Structure 1
């Protein structure tokens, strides 16, 4: 896929990067942002190299943290080698240092605050019209007007000018002698237009970038001006720059999110304060929570179904077959939703989980799904939860996950999603820019939504398609052959890689199918991956 901008930033500036990307993508400027756009199971370094090659320009978020980041320096060096335009944007008061000082020595860069609400417009203008400077060009940007090839006058030019002056003087004398009342204008070569007033620097423009020579002097410092009709009279005064926008005004606009949450948001069910016995539970309608910040659990019925995808399912991969029958003899409990941040942070607060708080990319904690948690982190969480509740919590097996996601307790049609073959932004949180079997497209949200912002499937489960992919217990195997018929996890195979299911907010709709299988290494933490828990019920 081709992108307009590769966003080069330090992980310490992830929140700012995500805010800018949201603004850009709301204006249909496609962006590549790590780790958001790195597919699961792929090489981090290879994906970055490919993304820079497939981007039209690099937007560098310069800061004190970027100064210290080897990754940022390598990205800038790769962009320079590939002759990609580099737009440096300073987001704090730091000065370039070390390798970045060298790489940015010939670049014109500005502070983010100086651009105000014109940043997106400026980037649009650069991408649509202006030729961005290559990284290896090094002359200074002129103060105004089109740049001539040389500021020096050659001897030929001086001689030509002198000859023209003599001819004009002789003609003037002759005409004055002939007639005093006639106004005479010599047919000299057309004069250059007077230089325009210095243009306010409002864009993070590389040093040698210059606009295409205009037919008339620029009418405004506003970068949107070339898209408007321009009045031809040369005497028109340049328009004053737009007044600076207050930080409060900028923040208010930044927080406007035109994309709505998925419809069908689940109503809050009646939640028991302890786990029911098997004989008391009503599958799909019985929910319980065993402590204030424990996950809400849903009772999934006993039953059987066929797992994997049929050969003719659109988007199918070979690792989704052959289809396997599976049967669950007793009901069990599954997390109604992904584990939320507030639930995961309770484990950290009580010393059960790794003390490092996972990053939220500025999307918020609370009821957002816990992200940037590895399979190892999820194991620590279920161990803590089991000790806290004195109940056998664990991750789901791969078979349990697909059975629960399909929401069908008997062998039924193998549809891509629990609700059928048609998917839309009203049914799941994914990359809405892509279609599945003719489904409608939309501008994608490109972030998580709260764990309760979903409609429930027939078993009462939320977000089984999209939002975040979910770790399960199983070791990775290339096919479904040998899947235990009783739904237990596979503990043989490549156990350094574990299965993830469900697809995420950054995936295409084909990757949200019930049968879709993927893997990730056990120590990997990504913004696309969370987890859901399960436990047995008392007989």
Structure 2
């Protein structure tokens, strides 16, 4: 019955296309470049998933109003400008790869400036070793600087934008080995003998994180919606999707403290299956990892929502 309803919903959906996107550019010196994402509907989630990490049930979501989403993940240079301007104390003791122990663990002194092996070290790299709380602080600062309402994307907005009208497993299709050129994943260039999960059978030219925009954009003109670094979203994580999960693209929130926030997209060292558009990570708000970053969204003014 559920499959039949999903099919009916799918036939009724009218996914938007790249022709409906509009670039806003950057709204201040050093601000992220933004793309207007069109309104539309899609089927969110996927049946199945890893044990304890369900990705369904599949349910229709309608994004009724256009919104803006950053074309790239927030870079080290952009995050650094925020730190300089505000004096914000960012997360530290970042969880990253320890080459001696050959495992991932908290590393004393590691932070967004020195995230660890394979992590971001240049201004055009996506910032990492930032918590959900750090990302929220950045969007608050950006809102004050620009006078516009910046925020993190909701989980529904993120998946809608990542799919860009596609129903395939990945932004580029269903074959993970076709990733290179479209995403910076764990591939032949980055493979390590101490890592047990399989790599994709191609080369993207990067053994670690890549400068933002190094791969082709998806159908909405957005780069790195899969791979490079994981991206925090606004939502409090719930799995399976709750019966009261919003279907209008807004974030799922709890009335009290949120134990874990949803993260999406995978990273340069993540196993390919976790880079699928429907795969859902979940981690505490204060968690810092050398493969976790974010991109920003913003609400549009009434005038901007009218096409």
Provide the TM-score with structure 2 as the length reference: 0.75
Q: Does 1:403 align with 2:157?
A: no
Comparing both structures, which one devotes a greater share of its residues to helix? Answer: 1
Aligned to 1:485: 247
Kept in 2: contact 1:397–1:489 (CA 8 A): yes
1:453 aligns with 2:208: no
Change (3 A) 1:391 1:317: same
| Larger RCO (alpha carbons 8 Å, 6+ apart) | 2
Work out whether 1:296 is the aligned partner of 2:53. Answer: no
Q: Say whether 1:335 aligns with 2:90.
A: no
- Which structure has the larger Rg over C-alpha atoms? 1
The aligned residue for residue 358 of structure 1 is 112
Match of 1:384 among 141, 145, 153: 141
SS at match of 2:258: strand
How many Å separate the matches in 1 of 2:229 and 2:208?
A: 9
Is 1:416–2:169 an aligned residue pair? yes
Does the 8 Å CA contact 1:304/1:328 hold for their aligned counterparts? yes
Written as runs of structure 1 = structure 2, the 5 A alignment for 1:236-385 is 283-311=20-48, 318-351=53-86, 353-354=88-89, 358-360=112-114, 361=116, 363-385=120-142
Offset, 1:284: 2.7
Tell me how far 1:494 sits from its aligned partner: 6.5
> What's the TM-score once normalised by structure 1's chain length?
0.44
What displacement does 1:458 show? 1.1
Whole-Å separation in 2 of the counterparts to 1:394 and 1:382: 5
Q: Hey, what's the Cα distance between the residues in 2 that align with 1:367 and 1:417?
A: 25
| 1:426 and 2:181 correspond | yes
Summarize deviations over 1:234-291 as a string: whole Å, max 9, x none. xxxxxxxxxxxxxxxxxxxxxxxxxxxxxxxxxxxxxxxxxxxxxxxx7334232111
Preserved contact between residue 182 and residue 217 of structure 2 (Cα < 8 Å):
no
Contact map agreement 1:431 1:505 (CA 8 A) in 2: yes
| 1:525 maps to 2:288 | yes
Query: For the residues of structure 1 that align with 2:204 and 2:238, how far apart are their CA atoms?
Result: 35
How many residues matched?
251
1: distance between equivalents of 2:159 and 2:87? 29
Question: How far apart, in 2, do the equivalents of 1:504 and 1:455 lie?
Answer: 16
- Change in CA separation of 1:317 and 1:355 when aligned onto 2, cut-off 3 Å: closer
Relative to structure 1, the CA distance from residue 354 to residue 283 in structure 2 (aligned partners, 3 Å threshold; closer, same or farther) is: farther
Q: Distance in 1 between matches of 2:33 and 2:205?
A: 28
